[in-house]
């Protein structure tokens, strides 16, 4: 049996996330306490923050990241052997921390910087996102070609692709999807992530990473930008992830091809668990975000 640990991204955040992990796992508590020592108020935001407060990018990313990492620490504390990791969008930073490329402290500081840069880019270059279902990724790509600023950005599963577009184009794009019998749902996000709308954020992150020392990962990390294990220019992969599509389906398929038959989603919600089951119904997929999940594990 080969086990993959996958880290959730932003979008599934909720009030109280991580609280049961904090109360039931010494390893998870240590991760939260570390974050609190760097960014005061993080624990309060995770456990008590309102939906509105948690939806602001500069709050969302640190809070989701630390819940992801705390859940992973709780899994490791149970003695589970992890053979490879991947993270969806923001979750990839938690994955590289877990795999030893960065200390938890430096990874948390990187996430805070990433959130700041992406929030700034979203305000300077407004955009919107929508999840497209019931049609193929190729059909989504074709629809996007008909717009000036529309891009497929998250290749989630055979039947779900997320697009980013200019605010004045997203409604018409959704109508085009419906016209070919697809379904489009606008997402409650503050920017057009993983697209050229985030170019300045990617540039800023690349600049920030110049002074960061990255170590060799101790287990394979599958990169969003390539769907392959990290190799060559690690810093480029981390920065490029911000303004390039997330190749999630291909990442999961490659992990399975390389032996993964059990997936443990750590962090907030069970979005990735659902996507993995749609990508390949033969693998085992579970999510760990609270005491019940830890007990099941």
116 shares its domain with 226: yes
Beta strand extents in the chain (DSSP E only) = 3-7, 84-87, 127-133, 150-157, 160-166, 183-186, 221-222, 262-266, 284-288
Strand arrangement of the beta sheet that strand 183-186 belongs to: 150-157, 160-166, 127-133, 183-186
- Helix, strand, or coil (residue 32): helix
Question: Which is catalytic among the residues 25, 89, 190, 251?
Answer: 89
Q: What is the pLDDT at residue 48?
A: 97
Q: What is the pLDDT at residue 188?
A: 79
Query: How big is the chain, counted in residues?
Result: 297
Note if 89 is an active site residue: yes
Tally the domains of the chain.
2
118 shares its domain with 149: no
Q: What is the pLDDT at residue 11?
A: 85
54 shares its domain with 169: no
Q: What is the pLDDT at residue 294?
A: 86
- Domain boundary, last residue among 135, 161, 186: 186
108 shares its domain with 141: no
17 shares its domain with 146: no
52 shares its domain with 111: yes
pLDDT tens for the 297 residues of the chain, in order: 799 999 999 888 999 999 999 999 999 999 999 999 999 999 999 999 999 999 999 999 999 999 999 999 999 999 999 999 999 999 999 999 999 999 999 999 999 999 999 999 999 999 999 999 999 999 999 999 999 999 999 999 998 999 999 999 999 999 999 999 999 999 978 899 999 999 999 999 999 999 999 999 999 999 999 999 999 899 999 999 999 999 999 999 999 999 999 999 999 999 999 999 999 999 999 999 998 888 887
Give the residue numbers spanning the domain of 225: 3-123+195-296
- Which CATH number goes with the domain that contains 151? 3.30.70.250
Q: Distance between CA atoms of 155 and 170, rounded to whole angstroms?
A: 18
158 shares its domain with 112: no
Strand arrangement of the beta sheet that strand 221-222 belongs to: 221-222, 84-87, 3-7, 262-266, 284-288
- Helix, strand, or coil (residue 47): helix
Note if 244 is an active site residue: no
287 shares its domain with 212: yes
31 shares its domain with 98: yes
54 shares its domain with 167: no
138 shares its domain with 34: no
Residues β-bridged to residue 246: 154
Q: Distance between CA atoms of 145 and 43, rounded to whole angstroms?
A: 43
Question: Which is catalytic among the residues 25, 157, 194, 244?
Answer: 194
CB atoms within 10 A of CB 111: 24
At 105, list the tokens: 């402290």
- Helix, strand, or coil (residue 163): strand
- Domain boundary, last residue among 163, 186, 209: 186
110 shares its domain with 36: yes
- Domain boundary, last residue among 162, 186, 210: 186
- Which CATH number goes with the domain that contains 35? 3.40.366.10
Q: Distance between CA atoms of 63 and 54, rounded to whole angstroms?
A: 8
What does 266-296 look like in DSSP terms, one character per residue?
ESSSSHHHHHHHHH-TTSEEEEE-SHHHHHH
Supply φ then ψ for residue 151, to 5 degrees: -145, 135
Judged by phi (left if over 0) then psi (alpha if -120 to 50, else beta), residue 290 lies in beta
Pairing of strands 160-166, 127-133: antiparallel
CB of 264 closer than 8 Å to CB of 286: yes
């Amino acid at each position: 049996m080969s086990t993959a640990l996958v880290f959730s991204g932003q979008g599934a955040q909720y009030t109280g996330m991580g609280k049961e992990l904090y109360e039931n796992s010494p390893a998870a508590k240590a991760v939260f306490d570390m974050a609190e020592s760097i960014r005061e108020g993080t624990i309060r935001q995770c456990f008590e923050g309102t939906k509105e407060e948690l939806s602001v990018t500069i709050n969302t990313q640190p809070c989701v990241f630390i819940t992801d990492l705390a859940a992973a620490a709780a899994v490791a504390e149970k003695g589970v052997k992890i053979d490879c990791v991947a993270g969806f969008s923001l979750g990839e930073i938690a994955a590289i921390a877990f795999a030893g490329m960065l200390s938890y402290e430096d990874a948390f500081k990187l996430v805070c910087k990433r959130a700041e840069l992406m929030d700034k880019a979203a305000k300077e270059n407004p955009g919107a996102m929508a999840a497209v279902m019931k049609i193929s990724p190729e059909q989504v790509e074709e629809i996007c070609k008909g717009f000036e600023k529309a891009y497929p950005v998250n290749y989630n599963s055979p039947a779900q692709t997320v697009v980013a577009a200019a605010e004045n184009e997203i409604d018409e794009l959704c109508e085009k999807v419906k016209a070919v019998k697809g379904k489009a749902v606008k997402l409650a996000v503050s920017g057009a992530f993983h697209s050229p709308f985030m170019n300045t954020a990617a540039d800023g992150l690349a600049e920030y990473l110049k002074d960061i020392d990255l170590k060799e990962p101790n287990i394979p990390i599958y990169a969003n930008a390539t769907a392959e294990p990290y190799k060559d220019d690690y810093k480029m992969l981390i920065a490029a992830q911000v303004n390039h599509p997330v190749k999630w389906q291909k990442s999961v398929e490659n992990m399975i091809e390389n032996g993964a038959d059990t997936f443990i989603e750590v962090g907030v919600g069970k979005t990735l668990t659902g996507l993995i089951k749609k990508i390949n119904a033969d693998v085992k997929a579970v999510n760990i975000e609270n005491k019940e999940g830890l007990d099941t594990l």
